[in-house]
Amino acid sequence: MPRTERTFCSELKRSSSTIQPCLWWKIPDAGFRNYFDIVCCAKRQFIAIEAKISKSKTSIPLIELFRNREHELQALKKVRASGGKTWILINIFNPHKWNYILAMDIAQYELLVSYISPKKSIKLDDHMLTSEILHIYKNKEGLWDLTKLI
């Protein structure tokens, strides 16, 4: 079965147990233009999360991830300006090779976009991704270690 954002979000929901207590709510995609995918409240923090999948074996199409979805970026900026936390979680997935998350704040995303300009994607082995961006892996129970988001 192909990897989908829905599968990734289901894994994230199961993994929310790694940051208890927390309220975790996946905003249903029912044909609406939602601001982001997930709302989380944990340890007195409001967190807005946008989940993305990248199946490329060599790079992340940063610009393409939000093509015709600029409202999501604007909403994340508003959350951050209002004192909340924002995370863009990009699941880097290559069957039988790797499965990890690159987690970045909206400001880090914008920095990466300006860093790669005029290109539209960034190589997976670029030093900005390997050294400056948070990597999240699954723990021994098969859950994403979301404690790093708090």
In a domain, 22, yes or no: yes
pLDDT digits (tens, 9 = 90+) for 58-91: 999 999 999 888 999 999 999 999 999 999 999 9
In a domain, 99, yes or no: no
CATH of the domain at 48: 3.40.1350.10
In a domain, 62, yes or no: yes
pLDDT reported for residue 95: 82
| Interacting residues of 141 by C-beta distance below 8 A, sequence separation 6+ | none
In a domain, 90, yes or no: no
Domain of 141, in residue numbers: 5-85+111-149
pLDDT reported for residue 57: 87
The secondary element (H helix, E strand) that includes residue 78 is: helix 70-81
In a domain, 51, yes or no: yes
pLDDT reported for residue 28: 83
In a domain, 92, yes or no: no
In a domain, 24, yes or no: yes
Spatial separation of the C-alpha atoms in residues 69 and 109, rounded to whole Å: 14
Cβ density class 93-116: b for 16+ within 10 Å, e for less = beeeeebebbbbbbebbeebbeeb
User: What average pLDDT does this structure show over 26-32?
Assistant: 76
In a domain, 65, yes or no: yes
Predicted TM-score (pTM) of this structure: 0.93
Total structural domains in the chain? 1
pLDDT reported for residue 31: 61
Say yes or no to pLDDT of 56 above 90.
Answer: no
- What proportion of the chain, given as a percentage, has pLDDT over 70? 97
